[in-house]
Structure 1
Amino acid sequence: AFAVLFVLIQHWLTDRTWLLSVPFGMIGVTLFFVLSGFLISKILLQSKMNAELNNTGVMHILKQFYIRRTLRIFPVYYVTLIILFIFNIENIREIFGWFVFYASNIYFYLIHDWAGVLSHLWTLAVEEQFYIIWPVLMLFTPRKHLLKVIMIMILIGPVSRSVMFYFSDKSEMTTDLISILMPTCLDCFGLGALLAYMRIYSDKNFNFKNIYAYIFLLFNILILIISGFFEENIYKMFIYRFSVSVISLYLISEAGIGFTGSLKKIFENRLLLYIGKISYGIYLFHAFIPPLYKYFNLPHFTNIYVQFIIQATILTLISSISWIIIEKPVISLKKKFRYN
């Protein structure tokens, strides 16, 4: 829920004067990637361990994974693409294949530009590209080498960002576009996978509550604060997203074993849980709400926060309809494709 809320703040509150330099969008997307890495890896590793105990193969798990992911992601995404194609939004007909095959991030990088209200779809492209390679690595890598694979993946993210930045023109646009390629996002997914590995093979309630973990967490918070005062450079490209990923990992770790006290009331309230449930639709549709709002000549409020609340309400309504009509019925089919 918080991941998608951060994205809304970034894209809708563009005139905010407070915390203007805080990259809410990047933070939200990074949190989303870390969470995806954790959830997907946990499912795969748990299923793999069960298969090993039952002396069964992993090909069945791989097949079921792709079927279940298809049921969750494809229907509402392709319905949205068809609507965009019919109305030729942002001239999508000319570049339709890039979106159909989840390669929009590569397209944006190649043309060195964005595509208006279609731009946010790059994150879904990165997710799908990750889903192609990661299940194969997780399921077919021997357990004794799994941790090495995860650590290598974590390292690939910041190293690839730094190398590409070093050989680039170092402009703001180039910096942004480097960060939307799948290899440059791998530290986010990898840290999530690391937590899943520890939960499966070490302790199901594993968390980072020790003095070294707290020191590392505080170090990364400090890095974020300090780097906010500097322009983009190779050091910032290496560490910034990694530090956000580490902080995201801590929050996900805590959420996985349950919050207590005031944090429990904040993170486990019914509204946030519901937003989390329909968050895929919220993210998918959010970029279309402001232009639709303007197209239908709905009342515009000078107070950006009032405007934000009204648009968020409309978005929640549309996402709820999508959940009820498209997503939930299709997701119910997943029970026919169990891992074990």
Structure 2
Amino acid sequence: MDHIKQLDSIRAMAVLLVIITHWFPEGHWLNSYTSVFNGVDIFFVLSGFLITTILLVNRNEAERIGTSKLTVFRNFFTRRALRIFPIYYLTLVVLYLLGPLTESNIRENYLYFFTYTSNLYFFEQQQWDGMLSHLWSLAVEEQFYLVWPWAMLYLNKPYLLPFIFISILIGITSQLFLLNQDFGDILTFACFDAFGLGALLAWVRVYQPSFLPKLFKYSLALALICFGLQILRVMGQSSYLVLPSRTLTAVCTLSVIAGIILYKERQLPVLSKVFGNSSLLFIGKISYGIYLYHLMIPYFSYGLLGSVNAYFWPLGSELFIFYLVRLENFCLLILLSALSWRLLEYPILRFKTYFEYQNDKLYQPRKILL
């Protein structure tokens, strides 16, 4: 299954939106963009699409050549673990050792973070926990990985599409039901609409590729409506909303991914100039590290940067220093994430070759671009 590089640009855009959300005050003009499109929700749709595509393609091949679906699941989860676990647990160990310096309760509540259940911790406590707060989405992703593969691998094929639609409805209704419940939208089942919409695109891509042009056309029309509804929500006209913000963002994201898949081989200006931008592609490649470290770096760097800036920029205005500190933190974040990718993540990912989905010599994979 070949890699679609433009999807890295979507990752980059998503992680940049997350950084803006956490690094800039709520009323800042940049946060108007994050209010329309939430970066975490974009990640959820992308995960739903990629994971479901991988599972369905390898399910089909396992059935064709007569290998075990359990092997597919085992290798899928092992490959996911090689991608996610190393720097996640290394980061947690470092933060645990630093203890009070992190200004968090990691030592008292380490079990939640080490078991990928921090979203339940934040829901129970009804509050965030400093530099650890963003880990809720990684917990949701991991819980999704534990549940979703079983359905995609073992449900009878006629039930796959209904199951995906039911999952989308569960996500939508859960958010509506928990609308007045603080932190209700960080529970895993409340994110199933985003995962499910990505999975819907994957199902079409694998089983009904001829329908992809129509899906793109319909989703584009819906995306324009959803974008308008998001604008109304940001403007305070929430009475017009009939769907949660996450669902609106997910529909828009589905439309973009569908367009990339459909027109990836054509030299369209938008695809080549925006989604083919080398800087975005690089940020997307190291986006996992960027997301993991982005809320931690400012906690440790602001004091040092304040002293350095006061020495080199003694006459700098408050507004100048405000943006300078964030630019410096962004450079530190990119540097740390690039080193993390080159020295830790990439070398570990080479072990994926020992966990191929199909090891049978008769295996000739159908080429699905990812």
TM-score greater than 0.5 by the shorter chain: yes
Please say if 1:223 is aligned against 2:229: yes
Q: Which residue of 1 aligns with 2:212?
A: 206
**Any residues of structure 2 matched to 1:153-164 within 5 Å, and which?**
153-164=167-178
For residues 33 and 270 of structure 1, the distance between their equivalents in structure 2, rounded to whole angstroms, comes to 23
The one-letter code sitting in structure 2 at the alignment partner of 1:280 is Y
Over 3 Å counting, the alpha-carbon distance change for 1:72 and 1:24 in structure 2 is farther
Q: Which residue of 1 aligns with 2:25?
A: 14
**Conserved 8 A contact 1:117-1:288:** yes
Q: SS of the residue aligned with 2:162? A: helix
Over 3 Å counting, the alpha-carbon distance change for 1:42 and 1:80 in structure 2 is same
Please say if 1:335 is aligned against 2:341: no
Task: Structure 2: give runs of 5+ residues left out of the alignment.
Answer: 1-11, 311-315, 359-370
Q: Which residue of 2 aligns with 1:252?
A: 257
**Conserved 8 A contact 1:61-1:339:** yes
* CA displacement at 1:209 relative to structure 2: 6.4
Which of 75, 88, 93 is the equivalent residue of 1:64?
75
Over 3 Å counting, the alpha-carbon distance change for 1:187 and 1:193 in structure 2 is same
Q: SS of the residue aligned with 2:309? A: coil
For residues 24 and 135 of structure 1, the distance between their equivalents in structure 2, rounded to whole angstroms, comes to 32
For residues 83 and 204 of structure 1, the distance between their equivalents in structure 2, rounded to whole angstroms, comes to 50
The one-letter code sitting in structure 1 at the alignment partner of 2:329 is Q
The one-letter code sitting in structure 2 at the alignment partner of 1:299 is N
**Conserved 8 A contact 1:6-1:25:** no
**Any residues of structure 2 matched to 1:144-293 within 5 Å, and which?**
144-165=158-179, 170=180, 174-175=181-182, 177-203=183-209, 206-208=212-214, 212-230=218-236, 236=241, 238-257=243-262, 258=264, 260-293=268-301
TM-score of the two chains, using structure 1 as the length reference: 0.91
Which of 329, 337, 357 is the equivalent residue of 1:311?
329
| Deviation digits for residues 9-64 of structure 1 (CA, Å, limit 9, x no counterpart) | 11112276325444359610010000000000000000001112112221110010
Flag the structure with more relative contact order, 1 or 2, with Cα contacts below 8 A and sequence separation at least 6.
2
**Conserved 8 A contact 1:9-1:25:** no
Please say if 1:137 is aligned against 2:142: no
For residues 145 and 274 of structure 1, the distance between their equivalents in structure 2, rounded to whole angstroms, comes to 39
**Conserved 8 A contact 1:161-1:237:** no
For residues 268 and 190 of structure 1, the distance between their equivalents in structure 2, rounded to whole angstroms, comes to 26
Over 3 Å counting, the alpha-carbon distance change for 1:288 and 1:146 in structure 2 is same
Q: SS of the residue aligned with 2:212? A: coil
Q: SS of the residue aligned with 1:4? A: helix
Q: SS of the residue aligned with 2:134? A: helix
Q: Which residue of 2 aligns with 1:99?
A: 113
Over 3 Å counting, the alpha-carbon distance change for 1:212 and 1:333 in structure 2 is closer
**Conserved 8 A contact 2:216-2:258:** no
* CA displacement at 1:229 relative to structure 2: 3.1
The one-letter code sitting in structure 1 at the alignment partner of 2:252 is I
Q: SS of the residue aligned with 2:29? A: coil
* CA displacement at 1:290 relative to structure 2: 1.3
Q: Which residue of 2 aligns with 1:80?
A: 91
Please say if 1:109 is aligned against 2:123: yes
For residues 89 and 18 of structure 2, the distance between their equivalents in structure 1, rounded to whole angstroms, comes to 22
**Conserved 8 A contact 1:10-1:25:** no
Q: SS of the residue aligned with 2:116? A: coil
For residues 221 and 26 of structure 2, the distance between their equivalents in structure 1, rounded to whole angstroms, comes to 36
| Deviation digits for residues 92-148 of structure 1 (CA, Å, limit 9, x no counterpart) | 110000000000010000011110111000010000000000001100111111000
Q: Which range is displaced more, 142-151 or 267-276?
A: 267-276
* CA displacement at 1:207 relative to structure 2: 4.2
Task: Structure 1: give runs of 5+ residues left out of the alignment.
Answer: none
- Number of matched pairs: 331
Over 3 Å counting, the alpha-carbon distance change for 1:124 and 1:210 in structure 2 is closer
Q: SS of the residue aligned with 2:22? A: helix
Give RMSD over aligned pairs.
2.2
Q: SS of the residue aligned with 2:186? A: coil
Over 3 Å counting, the alpha-carbon distance change for 1:231 and 1:85 in structure 2 is farther
* CA displacement at 1:289 relative to structure 2: 1.5
* CA displacement at 1:306 relative to structure 2: 3.5
**Conserved 8 A contact 1:130-1:182:** yes
* CA displacement at 1:251 relative to structure 2: 1.2
Over 3 Å counting, the alpha-carbon distance change for 1:236 and 1:108 in structure 2 is farther
**Conserved 8 A contact 2:260-2:271:** no
